[in-house]
Amino acid sequence: MVFLKQPTKEQELSSLLQTLHEHHPLHPRHYAPIFQLLTRFRGSLSQAKQLHAHLTLRGLRPDAFLAAKMVALYSSSRDRRTATLLSRQVPCPSTLLFNALIRGHSLFASPLETLDVFRQMQSHGLPPDHFSFPFALKCCAELQFLPLGQSLHSQCLRFGLEKDVYVGSSLVNMYAKCGYMKFGAVEMAKELFDDMPKRNIVTWTAMISGYSQNGMADSALSLFEDMKREGSQVQPNWVTIVSVLPACAHSAALEQGQRIHDYATAMGMDAHPTVRIALVTMYAKCGNLVAARRCFTSILGEDDNNSKNDLVPWNAMIAAYASHGLGAEAATLFEDMIKTGVRPDSVTFTSLLSGCSHSGLVEDGLKYFDSMRTVYSVEPQAEHYACVVDLLGRAGRLDEAVGIIERMNVVEVGPSVWGSLLSACRTFRNLEYGEMAANRLFVLEPENSGNYVLLCNIYADFGKWEEVKKLRSLLKERGIRKSPGCSWTEINGKIHAFFEGDKSHPQSRQIQILLEDLDKKMKAAGYVPDTRYVLHDISEEEKECSLKTHSEKLAIAFGLLNASPGTVRVLRVTKNLRICGDCHMFAKFISNIYSQEIIIRDVNRFHHFKTGTCSCGDHW
DNA sequence: GTAGGGTTAG
């Protein structure tokens, strides 16, 4: 039996070239299929040039169609210069030609350069089509350039292209990516999404990731459920999974994350390295370091992929250890990575240094910081300086920290650097540096209420109530409100959230009773409320009362009430701000009195409370 | 030929 084989790339090419030689004279159009074929097979630049020379030799000038095909080949071969030159020589450029040029730029040039080609197309009076807009909109999304995106949107409407699924998905994505820039942009994305006559998996994923990336985790998760309910119309793929997992990570919704992991496994999507990386991060941020490590190991264990040499899984796992305050483990993993032959990048060092700082490994951290440039040729950036300032600051070495800041001449001293210094000043009661850092921060990020609170804390510590008052009126003047403390915990896959002083929960009464009882037990065991964490200039009793309503205490009490002993091994609580010192002490006591392991994720890191101690070693 | 994705600091 004879099998008919598909012609190979070479066979197909040589037969086309044969045709070229046999036919004289030729029309430029005869060349078009060859250029097209070369583009499809990712032909080399030298082949393109040979063919081009062939054409010139015969005195043939490419028409708009052939030029478009040639431009496409040059563009996809990274030769943007020739592509641009060629496009300028064409007497009557077409939309097709410019689309080819735009595509090439979108592959190898910056978004701004790509947008410039789009602009040139329009200045030639050529109407962009359903191929041009997705490219241009993607650039706006990458640049978070909402005004241009909106203008492109209105053009899409004018050309009647908004119903096209590619254009529509691009618009949804553009608005979602600009959500950070302008209030209401994500809502606009959702409106467009709802109005689209046809949605495919890319449209759904764009909207889900839009929610995820804008911190709207609940919306992301519920949209993912909506999509599954749509049935066979759309099938989630690995990109969808990767887009929804950060939403679980954000909410610390471990059970939901596990369900999505199971789902991905059932659908055969868990083998994808990118999915596994997202899983590492999801498990780590949900407080399950063991599962995170398991996923990480499974990535390295794969024989048939190259992800062993991929930096990102290592970075993800190093970051996981770092956020859990396991600096030594992060450092060991870093050394393993180097032994494997993977080169670290700036993200690696950010995580590694923060890991050292969270575990008090000052000397190791300084050593790694030094090695960045000298050994690994990675230039330190503001975030690395912030970590080093934090490293020294947490160790109380404030003068050295300030010295580091003073010596930062190439890198701009950003808010994170001053922020590190300010929190160290709060811990070690340093008024001079604290005021210095805070005053910089009030200019650099005037909206961040946390900075005002920290300086207030320092003033309160020194009994400077006049200054506290002044700062309060400044806050009022600027219309800044202290972000309310919020803590939440997941019980049976449902998230229960509590705000500071919250009494709205159905179990609020029981929570209060339990907290009163705990208070008595703890005082009997020697607990003294640390009222330094209350800002107000009020009596000690009132301060104590104010501490009792902190959101993390409410969430812990709720967890204790609903977690029947033996069934819930670990109580996991997440807080939107930094945990206060009094609540930290409270959690340590509870972990001892109730023999209950508690893991609290605050805005910076994890705290594992077990038998009266915390993994951070009171070093946060 | 066009659209969606993973890792980072106070």
Nearest residue to A73 (alpha-carbon basis) of A48, A90, A52, A56: A48
Nearest residue to A383 (alpha-carbon basis) of A338, A339, A424, A414: A414
How many of the other CB atoms lie within 10 Å of CB of A28? 17
CB A408 within 8 A of CB A385: yes
- The set of strand B positions with any atom below 7 Å of a protein CB reads 1-10
Residue type at A92? C
Residue type at A157? L
Nearest residue to A492 (alpha-carbon basis) of A551, A557, A554, A572: A572
Determine the Cα–Cα distance for residues A557 and A590; give it in Å rounded to an integer.
10
Determine the Cα–Cα distance for residues A356 and A369; give it in Å rounded to an integer.
10
CB A567 within 8 A of CB A597: no
By C1' distance from the Cα of A315, the closest nucleotide is B7
Residue type at A329? E
**What confidence tens digit (pLDDT) does each residue in A34-46 have?**
888 777 776 667 7
Question: What Å value separates CA A182 and C1' B1?
Answer: 33
Determine the Cα–Cα distance for residues A84 and A101; give it in Å rounded to an integer.
7
Residue type at A200? N
Is the pLDDT score of A155 beyond 90? yes
Question: What Å value separates CA A65 and C1' B1?
Answer: 13
CB A82 within 8 A of CB A74: yes
By C1' distance from the Cα of A234, the closest nucleotide is B4
Nearest residue to A380 (alpha-carbon basis) of A417, A418, A349: A349
By C1' distance from the Cα of A384, the closest nucleotide is B9
Question: What Å value separates CA A211 and C1' B6?
Answer: 16
What average pLDDT does the structure give for chain A? 88
pLDDT recorded at residue A51: 80
Question: What Å value separates CA A347 and C1' B8?
Answer: 5
pLDDT recorded at residue A618: 77
**What confidence tens digit (pLDDT) does each residue in A118-145 have?**
999 999 999 999 999 999 999 999 999 9
Spell out the residues 6+ positions from residue A270 whose beta carbon is closer than 8 angstroms to its own.
A261, A264, A276, A279
Question: What Å value separates CA A498 and C1' B9?
Answer: 27
By C1' distance from the Cα of A416, the closest nucleotide is B10
**What confidence tens digit (pLDDT) does each residue in A198-255 have?**
999 999 999 999 999 999 999 999 999 999 988 767 999 999 999 999 999 999 999 9
CB A252 within 8 A of CB A490: yes
**What is the token pair recorded at A452?**
């005002």
Is the pLDDT score of A388 beyond 90? yes
**What is the token pair recorded at A516?**
């009163």
Question: What Å value separates CA A82 and C1' B2?
Answer: 23
By C1' distance from the Cα of A383, the closest nucleotide is B9
Output phi, psi for A93, to 5 deg: -65, 155
By C1' distance from the Cα of A138, the closest nucleotide is B3
Terminal CA-to-CA distance of chain A, rounded, Å? 74
Determine the Cα–Cα distance for residues A404 and A390; give it in Å rounded to an integer.
11
C1' of nucleotide B1: residue with nearest CA: A100
Question: What Å value separates CA A198 and C1' B8?
Answer: 37
Is the pLDDT score of A4 beyond 50? no
**What confidence tens digit (pLDDT) does each residue in A399-409 have?**
999 999 999 98
C1' of nucleotide B9: residue with nearest CA: A383
